[in-house]
Amino acid sequence: MLKLTERYCARPIAELPLLFQRILQNTIRDHFRRQKVRSIWTMPISSLLGADPEDDADPLETLEVADDSKFSEPPAQQLERSQVLAFIEKALERLPARQRQAFLLRYWEELDVTAAAEIMGCSEGSVKTHCSRASHALAVMLAKQGIKL
């Protein structure tokens, strides 16, 4: 009623019932639209996990961290791991292009020798040689830094 009187007070009296009906319908429709959107975004996490709605347990307490995740390590080990990985990346950049390519295809992309040879456009023996040389060069560079893997 307030919207009708505030916005349409200058209209003829014959139009007021139709205007009121339209305002009422739009207000109800807007209310249900907002309610639907709010219910989607504020859905309790427990309903996603299939827990009882009366259960007040925190759903985050039921989640377990995987043993192989980096969050199971203490922060000092996480820092050390990130530093070692950064050094390995720098060492990889210092390798010759063919050795780096062979090493990454075989050990990073986990391709077999045949697939790596096909991608590199060389023989399987060349891939094995490049991988061996790259592994040896990386081991020497890491040993100089005191890193054992």
Sign, CA dihedral 132-138-141-144, equals negative
Who's near 100: CB < 8 A, 6+ residues apart?
A: 92, 93, 134
Residue 55: predicted pLDDT: 56
pLDDT above 60 (res 52)? no
Q: Which residue has the higher pLDDT, 142 or 63?
A: 142
Q: Where in the chain is the domain with CATH 1.10.10.10?
A: 74-144
Mean pLDDT, to the nearest integer, of 53-64?
A: 57
d(Cα 106, Cα 100) in Å, to the nearest integer? 10
Q: How confident is the model at residue 6 (pLDDT cuts 50, 70, 90)?
A: confident
This prediction has a pTM of: 0.49
Q: Does domain 74-144 have CATH number 1.10.10.10?
A: yes
Q: Which residue has the higher pLDDT, 54 or 105?
A: 105
pLDDT averaged over every residue in the chain? 81
Q: Which residue has the higher pLDDT, 148 or 27?
A: 27
Are residues 39 and 51 in contact, defined by beta-carbon separation less than 8 angstroms? no
Q: How many CB atoms lie within 10 A of CB 26?
A: 11
Q: How confident is the model at residue 33 (pLDDT cuts 50, 70, 90)?
A: confident
